[in-house]
Structure 1
Amino acid sequence: MVMSVRRAPPLPLIFLLMIHEVSSADWSVSYRHSHICAIKDSSVIMSCTYTYPTGYKIKKVFWTKNPVKVGEEYPDLSEDPEYSQRLQYLGDKQKNCTIRLSHVIQKDSHMYYFSLIADKPGLSNWIKQWITTVKDNVKWIGAPGASLTVTDLQVESPENVTEGQNVSLTCKSSCALTDRATFIWYGNSKPLTEKRNRNNQLLLQSVRREDAGRYSCGVKGHTYISPAVQLNVTYPPNSVSVSISPSGVIVEGDSVNLICSSDSNPPAEINWFKEGRFLGSGRIYSISKISSNHSGEYKCKSSNKNGWKYTAVTLNVMYPPKNVSVSNFSPSGVTVEGDSVTLICSSDSNPPAEINWFKGGTFVGSGRIYSISNISSNHSGEYKCKSKNKHGEKDSDTVRLNVTYAPRNAVVSIISPSGVTVEGDSVTLICSSDSNPPAEINWFKGGTFVGSGRIYSISNISSNHSGEYKCKSKNKHGEKDSDTVRLNVTYAPRNAVVSIISPSGVIVEGDSVTLICSSDSNPPAEINWFKGGTFVGSGRIYSISNISSNHSGEYKCKSKNKHGEKDSDTVMLNVMYSPTNVMVSISPSAEIVEGDSVTMICSSDSKPPAVNFSWFKGGTFVGSGRIYNISNISSDHSGEYKCKSINEHGGKYSDNVTLNVMYATKATPLSISSPAEIQTDAPKNIVVSTSPIVEGESMTHKHVEKYSDAVPLNVMYPPKNVSVYINGSAEIVEGGSVTLICSSDSNPPALNFIWFKENQSSAVGSGQSFSALQSGSFYCEAHNQHGSQRSDAVTVTVKEHHGSRWHEVFGITVECGVSFIIVTITIIIIMFIIKKLRSFKYEYITMTQISESSEDTYRLLELQSTTSDLYGTLTTLHPRPLEHSCTTVL
């Protein structure tokens, strides 16, 4: 069909008249179908051809549809998202303008137009410019276009049809399909190939119930299928049957359903009858907990508007045994050994049950009657019968055959939670015996009665419960003892005690000593020995041969088994030995001048501490006591001294110490000057100068006309041979102290002593003596105006104290505390005065020129003598009783 072509937008009429090449008569579109009817979801071919005037150049061809609103542009469908994926242009830019539109839907129903955009190259530039101003190109729309209608399919069918009638089904569409269509019919979604009549109709002749179902139609070559419609075929009840659920044998107590099934349309009404009596309605007749009373014939009646039909079924209810009981027949009424007894079992069951007899859980016979002749005690027990058929079984209640006899087979069993009886557990002893009537039970540990009853329980068991137990079973016919069982209670070690065995009673260095550890435990414990906290050996006995003082200390044993461990109390091993390390200290240790007081102290290491000290000059006994004092010393006291320290185990001498007493000249005065030469014109007036001469200086004597008697030359030097003396033992008990004394060789005597503890930068004390209260290594530094020197370090060890030792130390400390404080304060004051006087003495003598006047000389000598006497007097104030009573304890 040839159709006119219109331009869009239209050009002015005057311009069209001037340019005849743009006449509409030169443009045309021919659509093959002006109206197209297509099935939903199919593909549509819109075929067309077009012509255009010579001289134009086709720039673009496209299809469009009516605008949605008036005045809108005609859209290019290839650019529309709703069409772009479904539209395919099959033509060209010369003549053919055919397209394919796929998967059409009812929304695609529109008028569609072919359109093109063309340009004529021969137009003058000013015309092109004008056309461009109006529109860049000439756009033509092919009218009136092609109309597309998208339709679906619908099936027309009667709602109900009676079996045997004829029925016709029609497949309809909203428009006549453009292409010749071949219709396809479906029954229950399956193609029907044999029942097709005419093009769009399905004819079913003499319809049957099998023809009922859902019918739909489609067109060959298309995937679209119409919605299905239901064809309902009615017919009277047929093939009526009754089923029983569950199937098979019906047992009493079951829940049973009688189900009536029939083939009918519309569905039949179901009614139930038993022996002509109406029971109920509905396809299912339920009986819950069925019994034998429900046995019989049941009928169901199936009926609808087209007819009715009966069918019957018989219920035969089976049930397991019930009401099972045992009767006991005995001639005497009481069962005695030697009697005959008959047991009878009765029960109700369907089918009849098999009868079995049991004593306890043991099978003993079959049959409704069970007889026992010449009964004995072995027949005593509980009897029952078991009634059994294929639907179940039931036991009767038990009956007791009670044959009396004396106790026998008494046995004790022990029940402990852990299997091993541990102290603190709860243990149960159970006595089992065979007797009738039941026996009285008594319990015995060894031969002692401990309780009654079949069960004997011990809670929080202890080692005292260990032993052999038995039970005695007794009734009026006799008695029986069980075998004894051993109750072995295990427990952790306890009461660990150490005993010391020494031949002499007192442990002396060189003896052999045995330590024995005894403890109570089960199982026996492993024994380990410790000195202080150090492991030293194992075994119940710990022996030390050739014992020495190093073995002194606190010992204990550790007793251990799998249940725990226990330490003994510590015992003190106190090894006695004779004195060792006997030494003498001299105070003052510096220059000793005639008239001074000198103290010599004897110290030693021994156990017990030495209390007997003897002093010797040369080989001559001169005194007793740890401290030997010489007041107002003279030159006659010079010589070698030693002390002897004695305890009950022996004695030992110290090394000799030399006492060198300095004194002034007693003859012709002599003047000594240093470092210059000394001269004198008056031999009768020679003056002795006591100015210090420092070690290393020289002295020259010239023009001496007369020699005086010899006088001591007093050479000054800094401290040397500095050492620390420990007053007593270096081991102290915690809370106590030990006195350390610093001695040195110097001239003048060192009066400034400073104490240090190793690894500490600051001083810990001052003074010639120092009380150490804690463990460590201590040393002292001795100072005079010429220099200083430090001693070697000595070690002090503090041991952990025990109660008894603490009370001893505390008591002694209280007793001597007041005296100790008073004496200490007095000594500090005296030492301060001495230091000041001596400092004054030496400074005065050193700095003062020797006067030629004999009066001045004698005054100077008198000052020296007075100072020496004062120092000697003060040094004798050190209290000897305090040293013995307090220092020894520390």
Structure 2
Amino acid sequence: MSVTTAARGFVLFLLTVPVIQGQRAYDVKYTSTEICGLRGSTVDISCTYTYPRRVGYHDTTVQESFWFIRESNGICADLKSEPDYSGPVEYLCDNNRCTLTIKDLRESDAALYKFRFITNQSGGSLTGSPGVTLSVTDLQVQVDILHEYQFYSQTKLTCQSSCLPDHSSFIWYEGQSKVTEGATYSANFYSSDSISCAVKGHESFHSPSVLIQRQKGYDVKYTSTEICGFRGSTVDISCTYTYPRRVGNQDTTVQKTFWFIKESNEIYADLKSEPDYSGRVEYLCDNNRCTLTIKDLRESDAALYKFRFITNQSGGRCTGSPGVTLSVRDPQLQINVRSLGHFSPWKELTCHSSCQLPDDLSYVWYNNGQEVGGKTKYLHLRVFSPTDSYHCEHGSIRSPSVYAPKLPSVSVSPSGQIVEGSSVTLTCSSDANPEATCIWYKNQTLIKGAERIYRLSPISSEDRGRYECSCQNLYGTTTRTSKYLHVQYAPKSPSVSVSPSGQIVEGSSVTLTCSSDANPEATCIWSKNQTLIKGAERIYRLSSISSEDRGLYECSCQNLYGTRRTSKYVDVLYAPKLPSVSVSPSGQIVEGSSVTLTCSADANPAATYTWYKDNEDSVKATGHIFTITDIRPEHGGQYYCQVKNTRGSHSAMFSLDVTVSTEVLKTAITGTTAAVLFVMVLLTIIFLMRKKRTSEQPSEPGDRANHSEQPGPHRNMMKQRENEEWSVVEYSAVRFRSRGQETVEDQTALYNVVKTPAH
């Protein structure tokens, strides 16, 4: 097989294996592999990355991208999850370019930084190599003595850093006061001056100060100006010192070196002479370097330590400034935990000291008292059980155990009964390390903003219910613990229900129920029309309701915190009751006057009234009042009113008997007799006159007058008729008198007769 054919076959093979082809397309390129940053400044570390847009039939998407500095067993820790980088790091990733920004650079930030991205493809992840090495440096002041005289030295100071370009501009300070600008600072120094420099534009980040002594060339520099030590441990504090080898014609020799913490009027107390340090301090000084060793550290050893040396030259002595600040802390280890990525189930536990210890120290890890893991500062866990309890040890120092929260407990303050309007505090407590955060739920709904302590002030009846508390920390979340909160309060406005609902018909069964929200439960009683119903409680039953039961029912509910009332009108529907009919006026009725008949009946709903006259089909009147004007004898007869509503009807018969009184008859007869006598007298006179005339003239036989007149009696009889469907029959007799004549006696009568219907 030729080389060309083999190559083609290999290419074809790659095309048929999408995963292998895709892997070759994954790449990360760094803009620079070495970056230097100045302490306190901000630095950007950038890269570009590539990947196949499509593998097989699947488009490629980036699911996660991050920077890291530590890797363990193939697990890369996202830099944002590192405790030391919390806050000062940012990612800016767009268009396959990702930039890591680190602010406020510290010397501990010096490390090898790498970028990693993960896609949705199988095996589609890559860590860029070789990474970017970041070095962090500080500004340094270089001191060059140009010329010595007896009382001063002409000195040139240069501000420099390996991370700065040659054209950088600097600002010089004596103490905190600005004195000049420029790359160098030359001056004659007559007294001890503390000089520092800063890059222009970054004035908040000064170089370490240097002490320019008036003694020509005398100086002390400390290895570190701040040291932390464990109580009971041993600590070393070091410095280097310089001096002119010769002054004039005399060589310089160091006569005394010592450390001190106390100074008074230019008198310095050697630390070895201090009673509290007896037997615990040692000096090791050689080749212009001197180290102070303090054993069995105590909290009282925390102080500012300075070094002083004295030479054989006149005035040839120096005290180092600013000195070394020693802090003494309890020997304490803490465990920090963080996730190793957004989608990673792994957690990293770090054994962290209250004083910064080297990472290469030996640590021992324990879970529930059993040794686990390697002898490293870090422990990686995939699963953290609720029953796990981890701690680490370094020598005789042991960290507190870390564990998930235990089942929380809930307390209520004040204890006892809770009354509406008071203030109540709910507290959720759970044993956990680190301390757990707790949240509250009410009736399974999260209470917004509620934390471990939840206050209700003032509490109301709506706040009653079941409260649940759940706690969590970095190692787990508890199940919920619940507490039912009972709130006592006066009855709320009662509600009244009527069963069955709708219209209430006479004779049916009705139940009135009074309900009121109250705690403790309220007792409820009924009253009708402001009269207490004896024995009636929350539920009042009327088994066969009648029209007399209608009215305003009031329900009153009471407990030991108050009383509330409400009312309900109960309306009962029923057919018209027995009607009654009345006549007005009730005395004598003068012919031509008016008579008013009134028919009344109790009914619900309201009834209609219709008037009829016997043997007449037409309606005489409607409404419960019937008025007859200009009454005459022919108005007599039987009347009845019909009362009717949707529930039924009832009728009442009324007989109106119109008769002429005996006085009227007597008056009529008297008048007729007088007229007849008058006519007879008149006829007699005429007759006598004619007779005389006749006597004077011959009479004609055969003429004879015969007059006979007898008035017939007038009687008007009242007829009575009973209808079996009517329950009421009423009789009325009305007597008349002629206008302008006196009546001898008044015998007008009105009769009302109630008769039971025939069965």
**Which range, TM-score by smaller chain?**
0.3 to 0.5
Q: TM-score, normalised by structure 2?
A: 0.37
Higher relative contact order (CA 8 A, sep 6+): 2
**Larger-gyration structure (1/2):** 1
